[in-house]
Amino acid sequence: MNSEPPRLLATRQFPPEIEARLRREYRATLNDTDRVYSPEELVAAAREHDAVMCCPTERFSREVLEQVAGSIGIVATFSVGFEHIDVPAARDVGVVVTNTPDVLTDATADTAMLCILAAARRGAEGDRFVRSGRWERWHTMLMLGVHVTGKRLGILGMGRIGQALARRARGFDMPVHYHNRRRLPPDQERGATFHADPADLLAVSDILSINCPSSPETVRLLDSERIAMLPEGAIVVNTARGNIVDDEALIAALRSGRLAAAGLDVFDNEPNLHPGYLDLENVFMLPHLGSATRETRMAMGSTCLDNLAAFFAGRPCPQALT
């Protein structure tokens, strides 16, 4: 019997406490430079290991999984989203995939609320205005924004994060409407109004928050046709995945004034976001900070390690996707 610890490839840098535990419990290969592996490099490196702890920057396509399946037994992703992993392919080749749900719910919901408030009250624009030295005096029409209290919040995707956002929004006296694949039980709805048809949700969303996962059904879901269904002067917030939004359509609506503002934490092809966003004053942008708190990132790392420990102990992984 081999008494040596399993060989583990960590594809990105992780919190120091998590990396220290990786060193103690595994023969770990760490990424000291935090570079992103190309598919070819990922295959070559994974073949030398028994497990991989990755981030959404590494794409485990069917082709990649078929090449590494003889070596690795588990891919533990440091994320709740798993669209970067072909889960059916992993199941076919016998590779376990795990993610990190629950632990980043509150941090991401906080970020969504931040995006709502900053977009509505012109937070980024105001900060730039003060820093530039252009603020000479207070006056009655200075940077008027949109009142949040009483506005109808539409939540597209009422999972853990959507429900956590709804709890926060109620503190601002915002009526909550939502669309989900399945209607929630009444005790989870807490008075929110369900819309079986996304078009019906859009029609009543003064502020639309995108909280659904990326999937073939949701890619470019918010296109020009659906933007036209929103009330005039609505606000769009996205803390889910960038490819759910059609960038050209959203930029055109923001530029024309059809939409009042947007708050975006995620972008298609990030960090190479559409340049059309850069000169729009009515967009509040963050560099994908949804789960970026010390506490949350530690919890995400611990969840990955708990899944890995269960796998190598022969127990079911707590957050297994396959």
pLDDT in tens, 207-243: 999 999 999 999 999 999 999 999 999 999 999 999 9
What is the average per-residue pLDDT within 180-200? 96
- Amino acid at position 61, single letter: S
Same domain assignment for residues 266 and 131: yes
Q: Given 12, 152, 179, 241, which residue is catalytic? A: 241
Same domain assignment for residues 117 and 256: yes
- Going from the C-alpha of 277 to that of each of 112, 113, 249, 267, the distances in angstroms are 19, 20, 11, 10
How confident is residue 2, by pLDDT bands cut at 50, 70 and 90?
A: low
Q: How many domains does one find in the chain?
A: 2
Same domain assignment for residues 97 and 119: no
Q: Given 182, 270, 274, 297, which residue is catalytic? A: 270
- Amino acid at position 102, single letter: D
* CATH classification at residue 300: 3.40.50.720
Same domain assignment for residues 124 and 134: yes
Write the pLDDT tens digit of every residue in 244-275. Answer: 999 999 999 999 999 999 999 999 999 999 99
Residue-level pLDDT at 129? 96
Same domain assignment for residues 79 and 141: no
Domain range holding 134? 105-285
Same domain assignment for residues 129 and 258: yes
Same domain assignment for residues 255 and 173: yes
Q: Characterize 263-289 residue by residue with b for buried, 16 or more Cβ atoms within 10 angstroms of its Cβ, and e for exposed.
A: bbbbbbebeebeeebeeeebbbbbebb
Same domain assignment for residues 207 and 305: no
Q: In this structure, what token pair is assigned to residue 314?
A: 């022969």
Same domain assignment for residues 30 and 145: no
d(CA 320, CA 97): 6
Residue at token pair 């024309």: 256
Query: Known catalytic residue: 288?
Result: yes
Query: Known catalytic residue: 17?
Result: no
Write the pLDDT tens digit of every residue in 109-160. Answer: 999 999 999 999 999 999 999 999 999 999 999 999 999 999 999 999 999 9
Q: Does residue 51 lie within any of the structural domains?
A: yes
SS3 assignment, position 171: coil
The pTM of the full predicted model, rounded to 2 decimals, is 0.93
Estimate the share of the chain in helix, then strand, then coil, as percent rounded to the nearest 5. 35, 15, 50
Same domain assignment for residues 176 and 272: yes
What is the average per-residue pLDDT within 68-79? 97
Among candidates 82, 61, 11, 74, which has minimal Cα distance to 306?
74
The H or E element spanning position 33 is none
**Nearest 5°: CA angle at 289, between 153 and 105?**
60
Same domain assignment for residues 118 and 178: yes
Q: Does residue 231 lie within any of the structural domains?
A: yes
Q: Given 288, 294, 295, 297, which residue is catalytic? A: 288
d(CA 298, CA 15): 7
Same domain assignment for residues 167 and 256: yes
Residue-level pLDDT at 3? 77
Query: Known catalytic residue: 24?
Result: no
